[in-house]
Amino acid sequence: MSSSKAPLAERLRPQTLDQLVGQQHLTGKGSVLRTAIEHGKPPSMILWGPPGTGKTTIAGIIANSLQVPFYTLSAISAGVKEVREVIAEAKEREKAILFIDEIHRFNKGQQDALLGAVEKGIVTLIGATTENPSFEVNSALLSRCQVYVLKPLAEEDLTRLLHNALRDDEELRSSGIRLKETTALINISGGDARKLLNLLEVVCDAAGKDAVITDELVMEIAQQRIALYDKKGEQHYDIISAFIKCIRGSDPNAAVYWLARMIEGGEDVKFIARRMLILASEDIGNANPNALLLANACFEAVIKIGYPESNLILSQCAIYLASSPKSNSATVAIGAAQAAVRTHGDLSVPLHIRNAPTRLMKNLDYGKGYQYSHSYEGNFSLQEYLPNEIAGTKFYEPGNNAREEELRKFLKGLWGEKYRY
């Protein structure tokens, strides 16, 4: 059916903010980014979000709105030479936008090559990344950019995209195809709008004119015609999810299998190590404090070593974490404490534990009555450290494991009935 060379997702790429589906917190009426674009003064920025949420589209809309030269580089294929060539050409123009896809893959030298041009306003940089930019982008470059977080598209957004495609694309509109069910299309696409639209095109091509698209039909065609996921889309998220759940579930055998799947698929070594570092606190915590130390050492080591030797380091760490006792008590504790902060607002710091560097503060009783713990037996004094409104609230509940049972006994010996350990 398709005769156009451009894929459906490209044919339907929005040209204005009003055509964009989703990301209303960034592009809706009165939003910060939209206002900056409408005033013709968008800042250099990093667009951070999952695949297929509109990062490239927003960059194109900005360039289209400003009617300025638009340069595109991929961090996978471009080096310092290509960056400098674009900057040199941009100097000849009054304004220019440089869009760098997957900017998290740029090394320090490549990012440094951008810094001067961004500082001097030679280019307005728009970087796109699926990874946390605070980990991957130089602090000097990051400090000169606004970071905008794109949210995963909601099911209603994805459904709207499908119906818009059948209505707005000339080929699909003339095919007479009707959309009865959308669940399979949305599930297979993994929330990636680009993948969703291209999957719809594959299904429509296979189904033919006047077809009725159902979940069963989509699954049948998908199994025959396409891979259900790739490492940049659903596979990337599903396999890391399986990997983490295996470690959390103390199954080192399954953990190394899913680790191998990621390694064979060319997954970013830092992405794997970073997730294990998070898990070491989230799911093991004080049940085995050494887990965090080992995971951090793993993260630092794989950055230095790289593939293929990092396979061994990742495997050792994954097996250790999977074989460790588990506790999410630190996760629960900080979650409960943050909930208390949101509920009670900015409660006052009790006077006796406030700092009193000036005479005025001392006269206002700052620090009065504070008991210096080391002056008491056992380096402990029974006093209140929480605001009066939530005094005695227990946020930390030791987990049911040998290490935290020791902590429970220790804390109970100190606090008695106050926190009821």
Q: What is the pLDDT of residue 255?
A: 92
Model confidence over 29-49: pLDDT tens digits?
Answer: 888 888 988 888 889 999 998
Q: Within 10 A of 138 (CB to CB), how many other CB atoms are there? A: 17
pLDDT confidence bin for 227, thresholds 50/70/90 = very low
Dig out the tokens for 98 from the structure.
């440089």
> What gap in Å lies between CA 417 and CA 90, rounded to an integer?
69
- When the pLDDT of each residue in the chain is averaged and rounded to a whole number, the result is 86
Pick the more confident residue, 365 or 75: 365
Q: What is the CA radius of gyration of the chain?
A: 27
Residue in the block written with tokens 């004094």? 381
Q: What is the pTM of this model?
A: 0.55
The crossing angle, in degrees rounded to 10, of helices 290-305 and 310-322 is 170
pLDDT confidence bin for 79, thresholds 50/70/90 = confident
Q: What is the pLDDT of residue 335?
A: 92
Dig out the tokens for 413 from the structure.
């010996």
DSSP 8-state class, residue 405: H
Query: Mean pLDDT across the stretch 196-216?
Result: 88
pLDDT confidence bin for 345, thresholds 50/70/90 = confident
Q: Is the preceding omega at residue 51 within 30 degrees of 0, hence cis?
A: no
Helices (DSSP H) in 231-328: which residue ranges?
A: 234-248, 252-264, 269-279, 290-305, 310-322
295 pLDDT more than 90: yes
Q: What is the pLDDT of residue 236?
A: 66
DSSP 8-state class, residue 348: P
Residue 367 — φ and ψ, nearest 5°? 80, -5
Q: What is the pLDDT of residue 2?
A: 42
Query: Mean pLDDT across the stretch 342-355?
Result: 87
Q: What is the pLDDT of residue 361?
A: 78
- Minimal CA–CA distance to 385: which of 394, 377, 374, 398? 394
- Minimal CA–CA distance to 99: which of 138, 79, 125? 125
Model confidence over 382-418: pLDDT tens digits?
Answer: 999 899 899 989 999 999 999 999 999 999 988 988 8
Q: What is the pLDDT of residue 3?
A: 42
- Minimal CA–CA distance to 325: which of 376, 278, 283? 283
pLDDT confidence bin for 314, thresholds 50/70/90 = very high
- Contact between 286 and 330 under an 8 Å Cβ cutoff? The reply is yes
Query: Mean pLDDT across the stretch 3-27?
Result: 83
78: left (phi over 0), alpha (psi -120 to 50) or beta: beta
Q: Counting every residue, how long is the chain?
A: 421
- Contact between 102 and 76 under an 8 Å Cβ cutoff? The reply is yes
Q: Could you give the percent of the chain with pLDDT greater than 70?
A: 95
Dig out the tokens for 137 from the structure.
């982008």
Dig out the tokens for 249 from the structure.
């579930």
Q: What is the pLDDT of residue 5?
A: 63
Query: Mean pLDDT across the stretch 126-139?
Result: 84
Query: Mean pLDDT across the stretch 341-359?
Result: 86
- Contact between 415 and 393 under an 8 Å Cβ cutoff? The reply is no
Query: Mean pLDDT across the stretch 178-184?
Result: 89
Please give the helix or strand (H or E) that residue 8 lies within, else none.
Answer: helix 8-11
Q: What is the pLDDT of residue 225?
A: 57
> What gap in Å lies between CA 126 and CA 44, rounded to an integer?
6
Q: What is the pLDDT of residue 352?
A: 87
223 pLDDT more than 80: no
- Minimal CA–CA distance to 393: which of 419, 373, 367? 419
Query: Mean pLDDT across the stretch 212-217?
Result: 89
Query: Domains in the chain, please, with CATH?
Result: 23-149 (3.40.50.300), 155-225 (1.10.8.60), 234-322 (1.20.272.10), 347-415 (no CATH)
Residue 213 — φ and ψ, nearest 5°? -85, 120
pLDDT confidence bin for 235, thresholds 50/70/90 = low
CA dist list (Å): 106 to 89, 101, 114, 257: 20, 10, 10, 29
228 pLDDT more than 50: no
Model confidence over 91-125: pLDDT tens digits?
Answer: 887 778 889 888 887 877 778 888 888 888 888 89
Q: Which residues contact 224 (CB under 8 A, 6 or more apart)?
A: 206
Burial of 62-82, coded b for 16+ CB within 10 Å and e otherwise, reads bbebbebbbbbbebeebeeee
